[in-house]
Structure 1
Amino acid sequence: MAKAAKTVFVCEECGGQVSKWQGQCPHCQAWNSLSEQIIAPPTQTPARFAALAATHSRVQTLSEVSAEEAPRFSTSIDEFDRALGGGLVRGAVVLIGGDPGIGKSTLLLQTLAAIGQHRTVLYVTGEESPQQIALRAQRLAVSADNVRLLAEIRTEQILACLQQEQPQVVVIDSIQTVYTETLSSAPGSVSQVRECAAQLTRYAKSTGCTMILVGHVTKEGALAGPRVLEHIVDSVLYFEGDTHSNFRMIRAVKNRFGAVNELGVFAMTERGLRGVSNPSAMFLSSHKDDVPGSCVLVTQEGTRPLLVEIQALVDEAHAPQPRRLTVGLEQNRLAMLLAVLHRHGGVACFDRDVFINAVGGVRISEPASDLAVLLAIVSSLRDKALPEKMVVFGEVGLGGEVRPVARGQERLREAAKLGFTRAIIPTANRPKQSIEGMTLVSVDRLDQALAACREFS
């Protein structure tokens, strides 16, 4: 007698399952994320399981495995290659996420048009019609002669087309619209996204086809669906930036074939996305005169040093609880830095509102920004601008010590190349050889950094 299908409630955020509907997921505590799904009974027979067990993989020693480096091929877009760690890898599966309208489809269409000059490519669209893709290609003025197009959302039909066409690079736009007929749940559900991604990944690994999946994001900015989708693929890239701005950034948060936290910077133009050769210029303001509350930080994004302006505004609090707001930086770390500034720098902000902003919409997560944030706060509080053409970096500990950061010499060289002549850095990051045209002040503690700013002035 066949088993009847049963109903479960699956969390759209973490993939957890419960038997009854609840307002909050008991696994990840997300609200209103449970959706009803019907679990179909298994269709595989015991004979099928026996056949699968007979075709197991061969056990071998690690020394027998070939350890050759995976060859890469370029996408012809330098900033995209940088985010990927040097280019695409044969058989790799790349997941790209971002807000709607930020430029995912635009970039991938430009990429396929460029790769199509030398390799066979296929664009699978599940959200837009072929006419809409053709209009975008016409607007971007890209060559569409070598780009094959398929409008389909059934996984079985897509795999059959891939077997027939044998493309070397495939784009699935998007994975949330694709479904498999073996499951009864709706497209975009956790089980459908997981199973479709697994089938496409197996095809890519078995044939050597490079697969690029487009993923939707939630309102919190994370990829929609369970985190298992990020574990299946080889690389995960996120589009960052404000849709009202012309600048876009692609950040790699996972890459099995390269370094993580690489950053590619683009500018949105009428002809699509164009790489920015000097991204530090977009993160620095164009003030004619020095203004209080502004400090230039040299941060490191992957292998690339970037100069970012940190702005601070300290104002009198008009509420019993002063506000602490940050844009582009961690808010909890700001509260800690203000306590260190009071204890070891002698500067109190307990009755002041403090606002911090990283210019250009960049998101900074490394602690090397601590010293720049504190100097910008002191500059705004005293209403006195910091010295001209000065850069700062360094981590500040709870004891008031200034700790070294990684790749200090590369940061200084980038600042000198852009015309900066002064720098306040941790003592351990002081280079053995002086950098031409730059005056360096090395500090061990926060109070020394505050005194160095007064000396420069």
Structure 2
Amino acid sequence: MAAVKSVFVCSDCGGQSAKWLGRCPQCGAWNSLIETVAAAAPRAGVRTGTGATSTRHAALAPASTVQSLRTVPAKTQPHLPTGIAELDRVLGGGLVAGSVVLIGGDPGIGKSTLLLQVLAHLSTPGATAMQHAAASAHAPALGPSHEAGGQREKVLYVSGEESAAQVALRAQRLGLKDNDVRLMAEIQLERIIDALGAEQPDVCVIDSIQTVYTEMLTSAPGSVAQVRECAAQLTRMAKSGGTCIVLVGHVTKEGALAGPRVLEHMVDTVLYFEGDTHSSYRLIRAIKNRFGAVNELGVFAMTERGLKGVSNPSALFLSHHGAPVAGSCVLATLEGTRPLLVEVQALADTAAAPSPRRLSVGLEPARLAMLLAVLHRHAGIACGDQDVFVNAVGGVRITEPAADLAVLLAIQSSLKNRPLPRGLLAFGEVGLAGEIRPAPRGQERLREAAKLGFSAAIIPAANAPKNAGSRFEGLALHPVHRIDEALDIVRSLQG
């Protein structure tokens, strides 16, 4: 009997090494090599499923010829609405035929619940049908889903973590039993591909990709080799057959998707669930999207009937204080194409240790120390003996530098223990020279603030309206060039 051969595979890039190394020789990641059993080469013509004999490249699309780019017709991909407006916003309008979507998040955050809701909506008679503009080769796979009695999509839910009875219990709990969702509890890739060929669904959910394995590899399900190979085969199946495949992925303790990074490059769209599982609110962010805007944000509320979209997310991220409090400032930020108003809170307290702490939650930690130095140098406000804590309310994560001005105003309010005026908001990037730089799409931020009843806004001078007709009813604008000008305006408004 031949001895079992082991190799060490990088969990970040999938590179292999014959021995363990502290650093991956391919991508340079530290402590990422994991020991696994070497994959045996598949035998040609081996029967790998219940259907026809297949080989390693059975799911590949037909070979394509070389052609000139100007002769290729540019076709807009139609979107299929999922029935949940917030999810459609993140996806760029809905699901696309032949695309592959990867969605990840912490356990119990609502991935399976949301996808079951989507499939139930698509399979219900009367749901909006996909406007298929696929090639004629895809038509046989997409045609049977449109029934005469009402347009609906043919969907398939493949569960690798739960039994069919457990999925049925969840559907009953969510009130989704009256639908035509096709269900399959299976983790072997070859049987899943056979089912996709027999059912020819428009949308298929694989829950989850870490549980699926192929007989062509000897490694365990969830290993780097298995995840990479199974995802590649399912991607080929989606591109050649026109089925939209949604993959559910596990996340690591750092919050990143588990498995090789090539998994994210392979798919068309990558979505992340964010938020605290102890809270009833969930956030979905698009990290990659070939059919829509990236960094788009969808806000959901977890209810007894599943996830429901929040129509006015700005109200979720704003404060509910009975009276103005010190250390709080409202920021007008952008999440994808949507303007959001978020409360930024700061707390400055006397440091108990020789080295003051600088901690931020929801904002870039490295930027906080730089902003405190600018506040000292160009505004004369020192925080050298203060612990400074900054937080973005509601669990939202803000990455744009336009939050700088609101952060500094909140810190100054906490230091002086004087609340900012009610109805005041701010945005703008702060440079090292103390200047206030403009933020993109400032008009949309101000329009959102005026709609919610804010009365004053401290903004970069470059974002001030150029013409007299661009006024915002009830919103007084205070353009500033430098940080000290912004602080002077705050003092004058405070009286």
Q: State whether TM-score is above 0.5.
A: yes
Aligned match of 1:214: 248
Cα distance in 2, alignment partners of residues 108 and 292 from structure 1: 42
- Alignment of 1:132 with 2:166, yes or no, is yes
2:68 to 47, 61, 67: 61
Q: CA deviation at 1:330?
A: 0.8
Instruction: Tell whether the 8 Å contact from 1:185 to 1:192 is kept in structure 2 after alignment.
Output: yes
Aligned match of 1:114: 121
Cα distance in 2, alignment partners of residues 133 and 246 from structure 1: 22
Q: CA deviation at 1:422?
A: 0.3
Cα distance in 2, alignment partners of residues 291 and 430 from structure 1: 28
Aligned match of 1:341: 375
- Pairing of 1:282-431 with structure 2 (within 5 A): 282-431=316-465
Cα distance in 2, alignment partners of residues 29 and 59 from structure 1: 37
Cα distance in 1, alignment partners of residues 432 and 400 from structure 2: 16
Aligned match of 2:20: 21
- Alignment of 1:12 with 2:11, yes or no, is yes
TM-score (norm 2): 0.88
Unaligned runs of 5+ in 1: none
Cα distance in 1, alignment partners of residues 30 and 452 from structure 2: 46
Instruction: Tell whether the 8 Å contact from 2:11 to 2:32 is kept in structure 1 after alignment.
Output: no
- Alignment of 1:34 with 2:41, yes or no, is no
Aligned match of 1:72: 79
Question: Per-residue CA shift, 1:345-365, capped at 9, x if unaligned?
Answer: 111111110000000000000
2:99 to 71, 88, 92: 92
Q: CA deviation at 1:6?
A: 4.3
- For residue 210 of structure 2, give the secondary structure of its aligned residue in structure 1: coil
Q: CA deviation at 1:318?
A: 0.4
Cα distance in 2, alignment partners of residues 137 and 28 from structure 1: 45
- Tell which deviates more after alignment, 9-18 or 177-186: 9-18
Aligned match of 2:474: 437
Aligned match of 2:215: 181
- Matched residue type, 1:186: A
- For residue 354 of structure 1, give the secondary structure of its aligned residue in structure 2: strand
Q: CA deviation at 1:16?
A: 2.7
Cα distance in 1, alignment partners of residues 87 and 367 from structure 2: 31
- Tell which deviates more after alignment, 426-435 or 396-405: 426-435
Instruction: Tell whether the 8 Å contact from 1:10 to 1:37 is kept in structure 2 after alignment.
Output: no
Instruction: Tell whether the 8 Å contact from 1:312 to 1:377 is kept in structure 2 after alignment.
Output: yes
- Matched residue type, 2:122: I
Instruction: Tell whether the 8 Å contact from 2:42 to 2:217 is kept in structure 1 after alignment.
Output: no
Q: CA deviation at 1:24?
A: 5.5
Unaligned runs of 5+ in 2: 46-54, 125-151
Aligned match of 1:258: 292
Cα distance in 1, alignment partners of residues 288 and 41 from structure 2: 35
- Alignment of 1:205 with 2:205, yes or no, is no
- For residue 399 of structure 1, give the secondary structure of its aligned residue in structure 2: coil
Aligned match of 2:278: 244
Aligned match of 2:268: 234
- Matched residue type, 2:483: L
Q: CA deviation at 1:243?
A: 0.2
Instruction: Tell whether the 8 Å contact from 1:140 to 1:272 is kept in structure 2 after alignment.
Output: yes
Cα distance in 1, alignment partners of residues 254 and 340 from structure 2: 26
Instruction: Tell whether the 8 Å contact from 1:4 to 1:41 is kept in structure 2 after alignment.
Output: no
Aligned match of 1:82: 89
Q: CA deviation at 1:11?
A: 2.1
Q: CA deviation at 1:56?
A: 4.4
Aligned match of 1:102: 109
- For residue 157 of structure 1, give the secondary structure of its aligned residue in structure 2: helix
Instruction: Tell whether the 8 Å contact from 1:25 to 1:34 is kept in structure 2 after alignment.
Output: no
Cα distance in 1, alignment partners of residues 353 and 16 from structure 2: 44
Question: Per-residue CA shift, 1:318-371, capped at 9, x if unaligned?
Answer: 001100011101100001111111111111111110000000000000001000
Q: CA deviation at 1:36?
A: 2.1
- Tell which deviates more after alignment, 391-400 or 138-147: 138-147
Aligned match of 1:223: 257
Q: Cα 1:144–1:152, aligned 2, differ >3 Å: closer, same or farther?
A: farther
Aligned match of 1:161: 195
Counting aligned pairs with the same residue, the percent is: 66
- For residue 209 of structure 2, give the secondary structure of its aligned residue in structure 1: coil
- For residue 59 of structure 1, give the secondary structure of its aligned residue in structure 2: coil
Instruction: Tell whether the 8 Å contact from 2:21 to 2:33 is kept in structure 1 after alignment.
Output: no
Q: CA deviation at 1:144?
A: 4.3
Cα distance in 2, alignment partners of residues 442 and 222 from structure 1: 40
Cα distance in 1, alignment partners of residues 198 and 72 from structure 2: 31
TM-score (norm 1): 0.95
Aligned match of 1:450: 487
